[in-house]
Amino acid sequence: MNPIPHIATLSILATTTMICGCAQKSSNQMLVGSWEGRASDVERPFSFGSVTFAPTDDKTGTYTAEAKYGDKTRVQTGHFVVTENGLVLDGERTYDLSYEDASVIFTDPTTGNSMTLDRFN
């Protein structure tokens, strides 16, 4: 039995596995950029006017968010980390992330509440 075909098969399998989804998935690449909060009929204590995520490396970065609390607007800056479990803001708040076309959906895993942000064009 010639070992060369087995080595070639293993190389192809390893490359395919890396390309097709077993490679590292927790990256901020899709999150980086500016987003605008989508209007919602659901009553919330606050809503995002806009958020910008800027990378510092492939998993971390800084953010600037404009949040509206009733008739008041507040700007907040901080740090974020993208993990296998989602987005962590300032080491405290964790959100599940899902993407849909040019939108990102943040879901609070504790309450199940979600907020949709659309990418600025």
The model's pLDDT over 11-68, given as tens digits with 9 standing for 90+, comes to 343 333 333 333 334 467 789 999 998 876 666 666 778 999 999 988 899 999 998 8
Cα gap 65→77, rounded to integer Å: 6
The answer to whether the CB of 48 falls within 8 A of the CB of 115 is yes
In this structure, CATH architecture of domain 25-119:
Beta Barrel (2.40)
Q: What pTM did the predictor assign? A: 0.70
Q: Where exactly are the structural domains of the chain? A: 25-119
Cα gap 86→13, rounded to integer Å: 28
Task: Give residue 67's pLDDT.
Answer: 82
